[in-house]
Amino acid sequence: MLLTGNLKSLLPQVLRRIIRCNRLSISNTSGMAEGYKQANIVILHKSLADDFEKFCHANAGPLPLLYRSQPGDWKCPSLSSDSDIRTDCLQYRLYEYGAFTGSLKSLKEYAEQLKDMVTFYLGCSFSFEKALQNAGIPVRNVEQKCNVSMYKTSVPCYSVSTFCCNLVVTMRPIPANKLEATVLATSKLEESHGAPVHIGNPGLLGIRDLSKPDYGDPVHLQPDDIPVFWACGVTGVEAIISCRSPLAFTHSPGCMFITDLKNNEVTVGSSRKVPQVHCISQDPLHYSIVSAEAAQKIRTLENLIGIDPGNRGIIHLQRQEELLKSCLSISHARSVLITTGFPTHFAYEPPEENDGPPGAFAIAAMLQALEKDVAIVTDQRAMNLNRKIMEEAVRLGILKRPVPLLSYQKESTDSALMFLCENGNRGRPRFDHLIAIERAGMAADGNYYNARKVNIKHLVDPIDELFLAAKTISGVATTGVGDGGNELGMGKVKDAVKKYIKNGDVIACDVEADFTIVAGVSNWGGYAIACALCVLSTCEIHDRYLRKGVGFPQLSKKMVWLAALPSVPKEEKFLKALVQHGVRSGKTASLEMEVDGLPFYNTHSLMIEKLL
């Protein structure tokens, strides 16, 4: 019996012969035959083969198909010479009617049954470990001389016929300062699962305890390590269990088939396609991935809306990358709550201004197109007005259908928690992201002020409390959009508001949002969010990350997303409808085609065209 020795430098055909003779005392093939592709194995009856192949193509992240054999064929000539799948894995698993019934060192005793069975060779993440090491990234499972950790998740794969299971992932601890290099090193190695499908808190995948993997060994994180997850070929094992085939075989997790194919590193052809990694949440820790091209487009949007047509000094409030990080967070959300409404014109009825609703409805329209749940919360006294505005938005084709319209009143100390979560349970939030756009924000003294330092608290419901409560709920993020510093969510830049904005020492909003988007006009911020969400949705790198590598790309829906974007004709009609309902310009109280004293034509219309 051979011990481990220097197995990483042996050629694949030599290793297969050693394995075939049962002369190794190791438990997995991680680190063996460095630089060569390894494969997961699934062997099932020929009657199931076509459906399983479709299942692989539908879930290419975990199941990249390298080769499909003919029934009864033990060899795979395109992957290796002189191989025999009955003997060339360290260990196999036997499944009968979906139940694991034993481990095997060889499948030769099943030679007769194997004549009617087909072997699938699927890519393996062991293949990219050398690429990580070449990039200076530690591979902890190799360092710790153990198998990689594998976990069942709560992420459903795309089902095909009787193959219906959840995704399985591998986890490798990666130093925080190596995350982007890790994604870059693996993103083009699609036959070895490609880029990670999740970076950060394992709970977001339904994994409760990293120290208790479902397959493999626990791999220990070092200080500053971040758990990084890749789609895993052991998903094929779960698929075999789900189909309850009378007889099936797989490799034992970690005991791969070693091919003769070199895992040649792929250079990224264009810098625009280079993936970038961005932290979008600290609680729970969560990173997202986007292409450099898409990120730059969103930075351009942020720069466009950052001009200061009113010369209010908002340049001092701006924070770079806020639009990008906010929209990355929103793209991961399932349910979004939007609030708007600034009753600055207290002497008029209605007192609302027309900056805010157009931006809010532009965001809502894109969220509908992206098939996310969306609701709007506003002041109780303004419900009738907002219902009419909603009807106009649907009639004009801005919204596909009405959005639930909610109000919030404080009735007890836990009212905000009860509103945001089912039965007030922080573990069951109704919304993943809250967005405030041109919404009156509470100042440090508990009052609400317009730009002229007039207290309008009597017209404002305490929706700020929802944003404060969201801070106590893990997984709920918040975004504030404003143009003067007195809007909900601008607490993040309150010191700059007090220093640079007229009356800022009094009017500055004290309530922070996780992300603060500052625009020359708040509506522009709403339009930019809609455009940025569309950019992210058409980014193949981000789309794959959102899907966790399962299912099919969503780019077929691109025309739906483009149709949901704001346009000059839609926004012109919407502003006319607001004027007809008595909603006035913020700065002048005019019932003309203007917002914040700026004419729609040749100012707002030009901004919309630039954003598109």
Amino acid at 376: I
List, for residues 197-228, the tens digit of each pLDDT value: 999 999 999 999 999 999 999 999 999 999 99
Helices (H) and strands (E) in the chain — how many of each?
A: 20, 22
List, for residues 593-609, the tens digit of each pLDDT value: 999 999 999 999 999 99
List, for residues 235-253, the tens digit of each pLDDT value: 999 999 999 999 999 999 8
Residue 194 backbone phi and psi in degrees, to 5: 70, -150
> Could you give the CA distance from residue 387 to residue 357 in angstroms, rounded to a whole number?
12
> Could you give the CA distance from residue 368 to residue 401 in angstroms, rounded to a whole number?
9
Per-residue pLDDT, 6: 65
Burial class (CB in 10 A: 0-12, 13-18, 19+), 508: buried
Per-residue pLDDT, 19: 85
Q: Does residue 79 carry a pLDDT above 50?
A: yes
- Which among 533, 522, 536 is positioned nearest to 480, based on CA atoms? 522
Per-residue pLDDT, 1: 39
Q: Domain segments of the chain: what residues?
A: 12-262, 275-611
> What value does the mean pLDDT of the chain take?
94
Amino acid at 150: M
> Could you give the CA distance from residue 258 to residue 7 in angstroms, rounded to a whole number?
12
List, for residues 165-177, the tens digit of each pLDDT value: 999 999 999 999 9
Per-residue pLDDT, 25: 66
Write the Ramachandran bin of 148: left for phi over 0, alpha for psi from -120 to 50, otherwise beta.
Answer: beta
Residues 6 or more apart whose CB falls under 8 angstroms from that of 467 comprise 434, 436, 478, 480, 488, 489, 511, 512, 513
Q: Does residue 273 carry a pLDDT above 90?
A: no
List, for residues 34-69, the tens digit of each pLDDT value: 888 999 999 999 999 999 999 999 999 999 999 999
- May I ask the CATH architecture of the domain 275-611? Alpha-Beta Complex (3.90)
Assign 32 a pLDDT band (cuts: 50, 70, 90). Answer: confident
Q: Does residue 3 carry a pLDDT above 60?
A: no
Are the CB atoms for 494 and 445 separated by under 8 Å? no
Assign 267 a pLDDT band (cuts: 50, 70, 90). Answer: very low
DSSP string, 78-146: TT-SS--TTTSSS-EEEEETTEEEEEES--GGGHHHHTTEEEEEEE-GGGGHHHHHHTT---HHHHTTS
Q: Does residue 181 carry a pLDDT above 80?
A: yes
List, for residues 509-542, the tens digit of each pLDDT value: 999 999 999 999 999 999 999 999 999 999 999 9
Span of 23-32, 399-408, 424-433, 445-454 with lowest mean pLDDT: 23-32
Q: What is the pTM of this model?
A: 0.93
- Which among 130, 128, 330 is positioned nearest to 230, based on CA atoms? 128
Per-residue pLDDT, 35: 80
Per-residue pLDDT, 28: 80
**Number of Cβ within a 10 Å radius of residue 601:** 11
Per-residue pLDDT, 209: 97
SS3 168: strand
> Could you give the CA distance from residue 14 to residue 8 in angstroms, rounded to a whole number?
11
Q: Does residue 270 carry a pLDDT above 70?
A: no
More confident residue, 432 or 16: 432
List, for residues 116-170, the tens digit of each pLDDT value: 999 999 998 888 888 999 999 999 999 998 989 999 999 999 999 999 999 999 9
Assign 7 a pLDDT band (cuts: 50, 70, 90). Answer: low
> Could you give the CA distance from residue 386 to residue 535 in angstroms, rounded to a whole number?
29
Assign 4 a pLDDT band (cuts: 50, 70, 90). Answer: very low
> Could you give the CA distance from residue 319 to residue 326 in angstroms, rounded to a whole number?
12
| Domain 12-262 = CATH 3.40.630.30 | no
Q: Does residue 264 carry a pLDDT above 90?
A: no
Per-residue pLDDT, 11: 85
**Number of Cβ within a 10 Å radius of residue 25:** 9
List, for residues 313-331, the tens digit of each pLDDT value: 999 999 999 999 999 999 9
- Mean pLDDT score, 346-350: 95
